[in-house]
Structure formats: structure tokens, C-alpha cells
Structure 1
Amino acid sequence: MGTITQFHLAFPVRDLDEARHFYGEVIGCPQGRSDTSYQDFDFFGHHLVAHISGEGRPLQSGRFDGEAVPIPHFGMNLDRASWEALATRLKAAMVAFHEEPHLRLKGKPGQHVTMFLFDPSGNALEFKSFDDPEQTFIP
């Protein structure tokens, strides 16, 4: 594999303002993109995304760029060549994708390609590659 840049983890939280305070102010993680349902954090160079769980219930899916995404999930932000090689490898292995490889945030800051799949135990994985890795944490 090529250069691996950042670990990615999306996880449920009960309150976004509480998460913003804890991760942003207490721990000191710069905040990135956000919405009413999620908040990105630069977690020591790695990509954390807090998704609101709602009324203390476990979150099964969140919303991002108009699509439902499984929560929790983890993965990697890869360089484009590594991402494309992995997509080819997964397709050759006939892995069933939850979301086929596709472009997200088209024409917007943070544009990237992504794919979602589940491992044999049901853990959700996302692999993505930003067109401009400098835009991973932009608001």
C-alpha cells in the first residue's frame, strides 16, 4: 500500500455541543466540518467524526452529504492510488459494498471518494481519499 495518512473513526455522541466542548476545548482538537447531526475533529492529525445519537439511543446510522451512513464505523483516509487499488482488490474479491465506491461532496470543499463495507462480523468500514488532503478538517 502507498502512503497512509489518517485513521478515521465515526462514533455516536449524546450531545454535539457537549462533544464540541470536550474534544474541542478540553482536549484541544480543532473543529472541522459540521452540521446539525455531526462534527469533525482533528484528533492529533487523525479524523474523528462525532454523530448525534439522539435521546440516548444507540445510533444505527447518521447523515452525511444527504446519505445515511452506518454509525459507528472506522477506516482510513488514503492517498488516491492506494484507495483505487483497494477498491479494485475488494471488487475482485466480490465484497458486497454497503456503498459502492463513489464521489462525495462534489464541487464542495472536502470533496472525496468513499466506499463503505462491512467485515464478516458486521463492523462498518469506510475508506476515503480526499481530492485535497489539506481539506480533511476544513469547516
Structure 2
Amino acid sequence: MTTTALFHLAFPVRDIAEARQFYGGLIGCPEGRSAAHWVDFDFYGHQLVAHLAPDECGHKATSAVDGHEVPVRHFGAIISLAEWEALADRLRKANIEFVIEPYIRFQGEPGEQATMFFLDPSGNALEFKAFADLSQVFAK
């Protein structure tokens, strides 16, 4: 399936200022519209909306993938390998604790990808991926 649609994702955060610092400052997402209880971010060309909802934060379940326990509820982006490496370096320098350290998943198999998982300050799980060959995104 090919599409030119953009996604819109709304998610809970415990503190708007903290979300601004993490998504805007550390991840590098430009800020869009906002109000006292929500803020839009340009997440690699897509609309990411942080809503103040502290009771909804965090992840609970995991699923086994390639020998790792992946947070079931997560979101992220597929970015270039150079962007992925730069982001991993920024996260390490900021002392972000990885749920799954940056590594190459499915090495030598269809769908080989660089991946990493970490939590935002509200406990939302994020995954960032990179593919040497984007035709492998849905490879079986």
C-alpha cells in the first residue's frame, strides 16, 4: 500500500513543560500549536500531540521480538541511518536509559534494521528504526 497521508498521534504526558524539553529539545521536534493542556510537535513531518493526562502514562505489557522484550504500546519513526546514529548519540549523552539498547535486529535476514527503544519522561515507549534499504521495511 502506498500513501501520501500523514499520521496524527495523540498520547498522554504527565507534564507539558517536560514534554516540550524532551520532544522539542532532545528529540528535535519543532513545536506547533499548543494550549495549557496540550502541545503539537512536528514529528518527522507527522503530527504528534502531547496531552496532559498523568493517569494515562506509562507502558505495562511487553512482547518477545528477536530475543528482547519490546514494549507493546509504543510509537516512533523510521529515519535515515545517519539520523538514527546521531539520535542514539544524543540520547546516550543525555543519559537516557534504553529499554533496548541500539542494535541491528534481524541481522542478515529480511527486514534487517537498526532499532532502539527508550521511554520519554512520562513512561511512553518510543522506537526509532533505520534501514540500509527501505525496500526491507515490510520484507518477510
State the TM-score bracket (shorter-chain normalisation).
Answer: 0.5 to 0.7
C-alpha contact 1:110 1:131 (8 A) present in aligned 2:
no
User: 1:100-115 counterparts in 2 under 5 A?
Assistant: 100-115=101-116
C-alpha contact 2:111 2:137 (8 A) present in aligned 1:
yes
Q: Show the counterpart of 1:86.
A: 87
Question: For the residues of structure 2 that align with 1:66 and 1:91, how far apart are their CA atoms?
Answer: 22
C-alpha contact 2:68 2:100 (8 A) present in aligned 1:
no
What is the letter of the counterpart of residue 138 of structure 1?
A
Give unpaired runs (5+ residues) of structure 1. Answer: 1-5, 10-57
The alpha-carbon deviation at position 62 of structure 1 amounts to 1.2
Question: For the residues of structure 1 that align with 2:60 and 2:109, how far apart are their CA atoms?
Answer: 27
CA RMSD of aligned residues (A): 2.2
Q: Show the counterpart of 1:126.
A: 127
The structure with higher relative contact order (CA 8 Å, sep 6+) is 1
Give unpaired runs (5+ residues) of structure 2. Answer: 1-5, 10-58
User: 1:1-139 counterparts in 2 under 5 A?
Assistant: 60-139=61-140
The alpha-carbon deviation at position 134 of structure 1 amounts to 0.7
State the number of aligned residues. 85
The alpha-carbon deviation at position 131 of structure 1 amounts to 2.1
Divergent runs of 4+, >2 A: none
What is the letter of the counterpart of residue 137 of structure 1?
F
The alpha-carbon deviation at position 59 of structure 1 amounts to 6.9
TM-score, with length taken from structure 2:
0.56
Q: Identity of paired residues, percent?
A: 49
The alpha-carbon deviation at position 136 of structure 1 amounts to 0.3
Question: For the residues of structure 2 that align with 1:87 and 1:67, how far apart are their CA atoms?
Answer: 18
Question: For the residues of structure 2 that align with 1:111 and 1:118, how far apart are their CA atoms?
Answer: 23
Question: For the residues of structure 1 that align with 2:105 and 2:92, how far apart are their CA atoms?
Answer: 19
Q: Secondary structure at the match of 2:111?
A: coil
TM-score, with length taken from structure 1:
0.56
C-alpha contact 1:61 1:71 (8 A) present in aligned 2:
yes
Question: For the residues of structure 1 that align with 2:60 and 2:91, how far apart are their CA atoms?
Answer: 27
C-alpha contact 2:81 2:130 (8 A) present in aligned 1:
yes
Distance 1:107 1:137, change over 3 A: same
